Amino acid sequence: MVGVLLIVPLIGALAVALCRSDLRARWIALGFTAVELLISLVMWWKFDLSKPGFQFVEVANWLPNLSVKYKVGVDGLSLIMVVMTTLLTFVAVASAWSYIERRRKLFYALLLMLETAMVGVFVSLDLLLFYIFWEAMLIPMALIIGIWGGERRIYSALKFFIYTFAGSIFLLIGMVVLVIVYGGLTGQYTFDIQQLTAVKLPVELQKWLFWAFFLAFAVKVPVFPFHTWLPDAHVEAPTPGSVILAGVLLKMGTYGFLRFSLPLFPDAYREFAPVIFALGVVAIIYTALVALVQDDVKKVVAYSSVSHMGFVMIGLFSLNVQGIEGAVFQMLNHGLVSAALFFLVGAIYERLHTRSIRKMGGLAEFAPKLATLAMLFTMANVGLPGTSSFIGEFLTILGGFKAATWVGVLMALGVIFGAAYMLYMYRNVFFLEPKILSFKDLNRREFLALALLAVLVVWWGFNPEFVMKYIHTYTAALLRGV
């Protein structure tokens, strides 16, 4: 079933490429992303929570002389990430419907290829296979920004590519050293992630390899001070690109910390946790203050993303159940809320052709459906109880307090700053004196796509256990192992 997940988007990309009509291409893309979403939901339904470890595992020899295998499967963590990826890719197609007006076939083909790469990262159980999917994401994403982006799209696409590619080089070096050391310790060379994580490495070596893997994952999150590519990429990317960037690509880095850094280098992970706490707190406070003075609504949401990923990082390195489970829940929640906010920003830009807060005002008078959904996602972004954000933020702050009191206090302060910039933006965009004469409300397609995300945000806010039971199985096994 996992292999089918990897193949379906590629077949879709081929079908789009062979399609003669640009308009028909978007229907084909929507159909294949819908099928992909349904397959992932079937996996969610069939996943046996009573069994720890990976399920739906598929293995085949690929490069036997190098001990490289095609090995894929999912546990509770990767299953959640896969479902989020298929859901947000489906939403991204809906957001591109009228936004992408030229070279549609190429756009949808790239988006479907990107979906295969993203799913591949989350299901890979072979380190080399993981690296191939990790790198494969760069080209379609850079092209989406570079071809369909704003005025500075080439600069932003190159910056995104150079930052993430440079980080990946350190990952490649770390992988090679890890495999060689494993071979020296056991007499067997392998890229099998389950075998690699079963061996205890010397502490000094753990420290060096921790930083090699850290640089690759930190750029992708992005962790302060490696975050500068993100606002540029978000601002210049087309709406579907921003949806995927914020919803899925940022989670690749945090997923890497959980899948590799903690199981492989537990001693180094503990030793350097205070450094990550400091970087996480700076990200939360500093980027929240930067968001507060922005005039571009997309930049506000972009800096908000960096700030919220600081909560995730601190939760991951708190090394307690509350922090890690909160971080995973916040990864999922941030994917939904930030994707919805970028969708809304794109809908506003399509109508007004500006993202300047000073040029807006009074949109609620013309677009009640858009204003209502924007209010819900704004409240979710500030962590209002009853939304999924509250669960994630509360647990990560609790985990931060348990790890170090000063960390928890500063995280709570970051929540206040977050409320300030989001409420300031919402008030100025949707209320005050209107600066426009007319504005078209959300159409049925836009409303249904956003309503789907809104239902999940509220449902998981009141019923977090629906997701948490999948996270419990993963976290319990992870903390037992370290």
Joined together, the tokens standing for residue 252 give: 């690749």
- Residue of 380, 364, 306, 373 whose CA lies nearest to 344: 373
Is-above-0.75 flag for pTM? yes
Q: What is the pLDDT of residues 104-120, one digit of tens each?
A: 899 999 999 999 999 99
Q: Which residues pair with 117 in a beta bridge?
A: none
Position 480 pLDDT exceeds 80: no
Q: Confidence class of residue 57 from pLDDT cuts 50, 70 and 90?
A: very high
pLDDT tens by residue, 4-30? 999 999 999 999 999 888 888 989 999
Residue 458, pLDDT above cutoff 90:
yes
Distance separating alpha carbons of residues 201 and 116, to the nearest angstrom: 33
Residue 212 has pLDDT above 80, yes or no: yes
Residue 478 has pLDDT above 90, yes or no: no
pLDDT, position 144: 93
pLDDT band at 371 (very low <50, low <70, confident <90, very high): very high
| Contact between residue 26 and residue 93 where contact means Cβ atoms under 8 Å apart | yes
The whole-number pLDDT of residue 482 equals 63
Residue 18: exposure state from Cβ atoms within 10 A (0-12, 13-18, ≥19): exposed
Q: Residue 376 and residue 371: Cα distance in Å, rounded? A: 9
The answer to whether residue 65 scores a pLDDT higher than 70 is: yes
Q: Dump pLDDT digits (tens) for 191-201.
A: 998 888 888 88
**Rounded average pLDDT over 375-388:** 91
132 pLDDT above the threshold of 70: yes
Structure tokens, 387: 């939304």
User: CA 71, CA 360: separation in Å to the nearest integer?
Assistant: 51
Q: Which residues contact 313 (CB under 8 A, 6 or more apart)?
A: 221, 223, 254, 257, 276, 279, 280, 283, 327
- Domain chopping of the chain, boundaries: 1-481
- Mean of pLDDT over the chain: 90
pLDDT beyond 90 at 439: no
